[in-house]
Structure 1
Amino acid sequence: MRKPALAMTAAALAATPLFAACTENASSATGDEKDPRTVTVTSSADACKLSATSAPAGTLTFEVTNTGSEVTEFYLLGADGMTIKAEIENIGPSINRKLTVDAPAGTYVTACKPGMKGDGIRADFTVDESGDGPTVSADEQQQVATAQANYKAYVNDQSDQLVTSTQRFVALYKAGKDDEARALYPQARAHWERIETVAESFGDLDPLTDAREADLEPGQKWTGWHRIEKDLWAPAGYRALTPQQRTAYADDLMKNITTLDGRIAGLDYTVDQIANGSRGLLEEVAGGKVTGEEEAWSHTDLWDFQANVDGARVGWEGVKPIVEAKDPALAKQLDERFGALQKLLDRQRSGNGFAFYDRVSATDKKALSDAVNALSEPLSRLTAAVLS
């Protein structure tokens, strides 16, 4: 689990032009002139300082520098302070990273989250109406429309499959058929992981559904996938849940997955959300799967790893025709590095699944980590290329 991503509420999307992601890119600053669509963000242990509290509508770039001693995250949230419009996570101390997003006029909330916990350090942010209009060819309009339609169909299909597989999983778990439940667990979760950045955009549902024990806030009740995981792969000294408790946790998971499916059905996606989502899924891999922190008891991290890569690839391939026309070198590099990472994952296959992560050698884990990092660098440039 990690928090990000890019789905908008249906109401917000209704006000977003179909080709909003193609609004004119921020013009380059010349001399001492500052680009009004580039906002610098300094995140420290106790502050989140932005160089501006407003910007013109269009392609915005947030240049985030972490001056604190802990890993931080940066979010652009909707006016409700919950809906994640865009985010960038895993920003280490002294690291600078950029978040590019196409933002229509409206009110937003920014948040830095030092230590990656809590509500973060928040402030209001305004995107003003702009007279800059889009300059989009007919061919690019068609490419954008195709990318949006295909991605929506993919997310909706994965969400539907998530509901079906979760229903089967919780039925097995409640019936005490633990071996069958353990076998289905990583397969059911794969549908969540493929659309994780969309699922995590709902700030109320994500912690109820996918919180890891190590990430719990003080006083937070632990529910969801990983609560059940611990019960199925019980560590030494663990007190098993009663049948009544099993039913309660299983029903709660099913309720939240069903709610998620209903919300996803009403969403549309702009091309910057698709591109940022692809980048965000690789960050999920780097932040939890490749480290073995995601599935602490089942060690089914490689199933999650593959599913995140699947989702990232689908996002990339959806916008690939747009990038090929604008930056063919980047398109070629992304194809090559997706391919290299997939070859390493394929070496870990075992039967219908993968090796358990606690049995993967340190050498192989290092190779996977290096391949993720190699892919993350060009993927971080994807959104800017799409919006250029």
Structure 2
Amino acid sequence: MRAARLSAVTAVAAVTALTAVTGCTEKSDAKDGDRVIAVTATDSKCETSKQEISSGHVELAIENKGSKVTEVYVLFPDDRVVTERENIGPGTKQRVTAEVKAGDYQIACKPGMKGEGIRQALKVTGGQVAKRDPRLDKAVAAYREYAQEQADATLPLAGTFAKAVKAGDLEAAKEAFAPSRLGWERTEPVAESFGDIDPKVDTRADGLEAGQKWTGWHRLEKSLWEDKKISAEDKTLADQLITDLTDWQKRVGKAEITPTSMANGAKELLDEVATGKISGEEDRYSHTDLVDFKANIEGAQEAYELLRAVAQENDAALVTELDKQFAALNTLLDKYRPNTSSYDFVSYDTVTEAQRKELSDAVNALAEPLSKLAAAVAK
């Protein structure tokens, strides 16, 4: 779920709470100023302090001086995502660490989290990125395998969902909806890195770009729970969902994955929870938000666990805090499912405002230290 799908009011409220603890007080972990690119985003500009930098780790020091929630990306020439930071509220700051090889890139700011963004060219010079800790190479390989496994497991579950839709079986389709999304939600940053798949399969009505046809899970979710009927078009959309998810499955192995992209992806998954699941806007018709919530946390924790040994060596206090906060959030989530070995969570519309606030506080408590993981593994 691209955070751009949030309503403006909800997005500002959510990111203000999140960036209050993660954006403004975070210190730079770059070893010197030469590795930092200051990015100043407004509603009409995207200014960068450098247009050229040598290969290796780079830190973006982002400040949103505009009136709209914004996103900042580092993009390959074909618009694949190197790294991103979404949901940067007005008047707030964020830092993100990335690993870049020699080549041509673009830094894009997206005020209002819409469109192609305002772009600045970035040239990265030099040869190969310095050889990294072999444990990090193993972590990348393991995470790549995990992402592929999640995509592979999604296809039969999505197939069950699509089959029920095509059969016109409303109740069976409802039952299959949430399970079909687990693998996607666990590894969503990898899927989003391609740029063109997420809008096809996971966009909500309020996140559509001009001229974009609404397809994917949430379009079908609306038919099942709000319209309470399955149309001929829905059956065609079910086939399209499988086509698009198969495209994702085939492309996962080609994703650009680095230790810092794993760490940043874990943080992005927490942001997904903070800005979509907590508000109830993600699965607004089915109210299966807690299933997606749990999958996001599982995906973030998988990336963290693979990076944990190196992070422990570089920042033991950070690892202690992350272990504590992951455990606390998982324990809290377990309160909302009768059987902790299943994904049968309560309907999110039964979760009170006070309970949502408790969940939000737990997410923020984890998001703050998790925002420092990329810098810890880049040391």
What TM-score do the two structures reach when normalised by structure 1? 0.87
The structure 1 residue matched to 2:117, chosen from 116, 120, 143, is: 120
C-alpha separation between the residues in 1 aligned to 2:274 and 2:110? 18
Partner of 2:190: 198
**Could you say which residue in structure 1 is the equivalent of 2:31?**
27
Matched with 1:366 is 357
1:56-95 map, 5 Å:
56-80=54-78, 82-95=79-92
Per mean C-alpha deviation after superposition, the further-off stretch among 245-254 and 125-134 is 125-134
Which secondary structure state, in structure 1, belongs to the residue aligned with residue 195 of structure 2? coil
Select which of 158, 167, 172 maps to 1:175: 167
DSSP-derived class of the 1:36 partner? helix
The alpha carbon displacement at 1:286 in A equals 1.0
The residue number in structure 1 matching 2:234 is 246
Q: CA deviation at 1:168?
A: 1.0
Q: Tell me how far apart the structure 2 counterparts of residues 132 and 231 of structure 1 sit (CA, whole Å).
A: 49
Tell me the matched-pair count: 352
- 1:302-381 equivalences in 2 (<5 Å): 302-351=290-339, 352=342, 353-381=344-372
The 10-residue stretch of structure 1 (87-96 or 211-220) with the greater mean CA deviation from structure 2: 211-220
Aligned residue identity for 2:203: A
Counterpart pick for 1:230 among 211, 216, 222: 222
1:348–1:239 distance in 2 versus 1, CA, 3 Å: closer
- Separation in structure 2 between the aligned mates of residue 133 and residue 240 of structure 1, nearest angstrom: 57
Matched AA of 2:151: S
Given residue 177 of structure 2, which amino acid in structure 1 is its aligned partner? Answer: Y
Question: Per the alignment, do residues 350 and 214 of structure 1 end up closer, same or farther by CA in structure 2, a change over 3 Å counting?
Answer: farther
Tell whether 2:281 aligns with 1:293.
yes
Query: Do the aligned partners of residues 180 and 92 (structure 1) sit closer, same or farther apart at CA in structure 2, a change above 3 Å counting?
Result: same
Partner AA of 2:280 in structure 1: G
Determine which structure has the larger helix proportion and give its number: 2
Is structure 2 residue 99 aligned with structure 1 residue 108?
Answer: no
d(CA) in 1 for partners of 2:204 and 2:212? 11
Cα drift, residue 271 of structure 1: 1.1
1:114-193 to 2 correspondences below 5 Å: 114-129=111-126, 133-134=130-131, 140-141=133-134, 143-193=135-185
Shift of 1:296: 1.1
Equivalent pair of 1:60/1:102 in contact (CA under 8 Å): yes
Partner Cα distance (2:53, 2:256) in 1 = 24
For 1:204 and 1:346, the matched residues in 2 are separated by 34
Distance 2:73 2:298 in 1: 24
Shift, 1:145, TM fit = 2.8
Q: CA-to-partner distance for each residue in 1:141-173, whole Å, 9 max, x for gaps? A: 1x1132122211211110001111111110011
3-state SS of the aligned residue for 1:189? helix
Deviation (angstroms), 1:130: 5.9
Q: Map 1:265-280 onto structure 2 (within 5 A).
A: 265-267=253-255, 269-280=257-268
SS in 1 for 2:62: strand
1:269 deviates by 2.4
SS of 1:291's equivalent in the other structure is coil
Quote how far apart the aligned CAs of 1:26 are: 4.9
Query: How far is the alpha carbon of 1:189 from its aligned partner?
Result: 0.6
8 A contact 2:168–2:230 mirrored in 1: no
* Structure 2 CA distance for partners of 1:74 and 1:203, relative to 1, 3 Å: same
- Aligned Cα RMSD in Å? 1.7
Report the counterpart of residue 43 of structure 1 in structure 2. Answer: 41
Letter in 1 for 2:192: E
- Give the Cα–Cα distance (whole angstroms) in 2 for the partners of residues 42 and 97 of structure 1: 11
Structure 2 stretches lacking a partner, 5+ long: 5-28
Q: Within 1, Cα distance between the matches of 2:160 and 2:169?
A: 11
How far does the alpha carbon of each residue in 1:181-215 deviate from its partner, in whole angstroms, 9 at most, with x for none?
Answer: 11111111111100111111121111011101111
Question: TM-score, normalized by length of structure 2?
Answer: 0.89
Q: Provide the secondary structure at the position in 1 that maps to 2:95.
A: strand
Which letter does structure 1 place at the counterpart of 2:352?
S
Task: Tell me, in whole angstroms, the C-alpha distance in 1 between the residues paired with 2:209 and 2:256.
Answer: 32
Pair 1:132–1:101, CA change in 2 (3 A):
closer
Distance 1:217 1:334, change over 3 A: same
Task: Read off the aligned partner of 2:347 and give its amino acid letter.
Answer: F
The code of the aligned residue for 1:124 comes to A
Amino acid aligned to 1:93: P
Asked whether the 8 Å contact 1:3–1:206 carries over to 2, the reply is no
The change in CA–CA distance for 1:27 and 1:293 in structure 2 (over 3 A counts) is same
Rounded Cα–Cα distance in structure 2 between residues aligned with 1:26 and 1:292: 37
Measure the CA separation in 2 of the matches of 1:211 and 1:196. 13
